[in-house]
């Protein structure tokens, strides 16, 4: 009977860990950097992600022009 109660308990100490939207590393609660609905390790990763999106958009636009 004690076993059923044990199974219901969530892993203690394990909080929701979000992965960085840029490098994919898990971002811990205290260190997370939240921007535009995503979590990042820090400002640098956020900038990297922004640059990546911008580059991809530019490439997509260039690809469409060539067609
Ligand atoms: Zn990161």
Instruction: Report how far ligand 1's centroid is from the alpha carbon of 14 (Å).
Output: 20
Contact between residue 20 and residue 39 where contact means Cβ atoms under 8 Å apart? yes
As a whole number, mean pLDDT of residues 8-30 equals: 73
* Entry pTM: 0.60
Distance from the alpha carbon of residue 51 to the mean position of ligand 1, in angstroms: 13
pLDDT tens-digit readout, 34-64: 888 888 989 999 999 999 999 999 999 999 8
Q: What is the DSSP string of 6-66?
A: HHHSPPTT----EEPTTT-PEEPTTT-EEETTEEESSHHHHHHHHHHHHHHHHHHHHHHHH
Please state the domain extents for the chain.
17-66
Ligand 1 mean position, distance from CA 47 (Å): 10
24 Cα–ligand 1 center, Å: 6
């Amino acid at each position: 009977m004690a076993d059923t109660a044990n199974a219901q308990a969530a892993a203690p100490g394990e909080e929701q860990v979000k992965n960085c939207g840029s490098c994919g590393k898990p971002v811990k609660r205290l260190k997370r950097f939240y921007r535009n609905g995503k979590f990042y390790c820090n400002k640098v990763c956020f900038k990297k992600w922004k640059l990546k999106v911008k580059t991809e958009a530019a490439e997509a636009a260039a690809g469409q022009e060539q067609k």
